[in-house]
């Protein structure tokens, strides 16, 4: 793991964990009252296992609930402010340590990787928009270059059989090979741990690819992982509009959105509230 260059151990730990693409949380004491060991501004870095890597926000009275809050934040992605009453051994932290504290817990999650297979203007736009949406884009195509994919974190130009395609469950795969080998690349994607797979193709080509995959032994559960044709119906015509429709779907999948128009969602919520 690379080491941060700062003399601050908190900053160094954050730099190292981010470089290693490991999730972590930072807990900061923002308010104290009475007899407490940590002071306002004290910090601790907590890893994905709920272990304090460096720093300190108090003794055992505070550390256990703070680490639990960090784990919750890493699971949900939400920040939290927790109140610790260390005077109350029943309703507080479990032992009468004295005083009270408020601690802000902020999770830091590595960006999901968007594995982009293919080249051309649509793929270039998917890369650019994907980066703007917080994805780390890896382009896997022999014709990829830094001129056309300046925002990609990695270019794989010698991976002819997609052997380097290694997405995790939080990652996304977008296949934009323009009908050139998309059935082979789709097999590789389905055999990976990718959480979401999207195929940019026409309706006819989509049917051909899915039929081929079924004949190759992939069952309905496998094919349910594939969004094909990818994207929302925006009436897209240009490469930029097609890319936008595809990345919109990726954001929806990542954030758990409904895909509804906001006015329709608000109207639906209002009807639910009125009926309740």
125-130 average pLDDT score: 97
φ/ψ of 233, rounded to 5, equals -80, 90
Report the predicted TM-score, pTM, of the whole model to 2 decimal places: 0.77
User: At which of 57, 85, 108 does a domain end?
Assistant: 108
Domain span at 128: 113-255
Q: Residue 90 has what pLDDT?
A: 46
Residue 80 within any structural domain of the chain: yes
Do 27 and 81 lie in one domain? The reply is yes
180-208 residue pLDDT tens: 777 888 888 898 888 899 999 889 999 99
Each residue of 2-35: pLDDT tens digit? 455 567 999 999 999 998 889 999 999 999 988 7
Relative orientation angle of helices 182-190 and 203-215, to the nearest 10 degrees? 60
Would 138 be classed as within a structural domain?
A: yes
Q: Which residue stretches of the chain are H helix?
A: 9-19, 60-76, 121-132, 182-190, 203-215, 220-223, 239-255, 262-275
Residue bearing tokens 């190292």: 16
Say whether the peptide bond before residue 62 is cis (omega within 30 degrees of 0): no
> Do 146 and 194 fall into the same domain?
yes
User: How many domains are contained in the chain?
Assistant: 2
User: Does 81 fall in a domain?
Assistant: yes
* Beta-carbon contacts of residue 104 (< 8 Å; ≥ 6 apart): 27, 28, 30, 79, 80, 81
Taking CA atoms, 138 is separated from 109, 164, 204, in Å, by: 18, 11, 28
Which of the listed residues 72, 91, 108 is the one where a domain comes to its end?
Answer: 108
Q: Which residue has the tokens 């029943």?
A: 90
Q: What is the pLDDT of residues 72-105, one digit of tens each?
A: 999 988 999 999 987 655 444 444 556 888 999 9
**Is the domain of 15 the same as that of 56?**
yes
Segment 154-168, tens digit of pLDDT? 999 998 888 898 898
């Amino acid at each position: 793991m690379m080491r941060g260059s700062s003399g601050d151990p908190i900053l160094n730990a954050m730099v190292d964990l981010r470089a290693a693409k490991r999730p972590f949380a930072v807990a900061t004491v923002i308010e104290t009252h009475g007899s407490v060991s940590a002071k306002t501004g004290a910090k601790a870095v907590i890893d994905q296992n709920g272990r304090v890597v460096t720093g300190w926000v108090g003794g055992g009275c505070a550390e256990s609930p703070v680490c639990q809050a960090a784990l919750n934040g890493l699971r949900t992605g939400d920040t939290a402010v927790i109140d610790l009453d260390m005077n109350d051994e029943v309703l507080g932290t479990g032992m009468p340590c004295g005083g009270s504290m408020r601690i802000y817990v902020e999770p830091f999650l590595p960006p999901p990787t968007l594995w982009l297979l293919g080249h051309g203007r649509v793929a270039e736009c998917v890369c650019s928009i994907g980066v703007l949406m917080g994805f780390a884009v890896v382009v896997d195509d022999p014709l990829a270059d830094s001129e056309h994919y300046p925002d990609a974190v990695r270019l794989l130009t010698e991976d002819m059989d997609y052997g380097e395609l290694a997405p995790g469950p939080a990652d996304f795969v977008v296949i934009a090979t323009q009908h050139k080998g998309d059935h082979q690349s789709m097999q590789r994607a389905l055999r990976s741990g990718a959480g979401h797979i999207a195929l940019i193709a026409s309706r006819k080509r989509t049917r051909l690819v899915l039929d081929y995959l079924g004949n190759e032994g992939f069952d309905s559960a496998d094919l349910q992982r594939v969004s094909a044709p990818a994207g929302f119906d925006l009436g897209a015509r240009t490469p930029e509009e097609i890319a936008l429709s595809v990345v919109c779907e990726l954001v929806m999948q990542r954030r758990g959105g409904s895909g509804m128009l906001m006015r329709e969602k608000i109207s639906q919520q209002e009807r639910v509230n009125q009926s309740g």
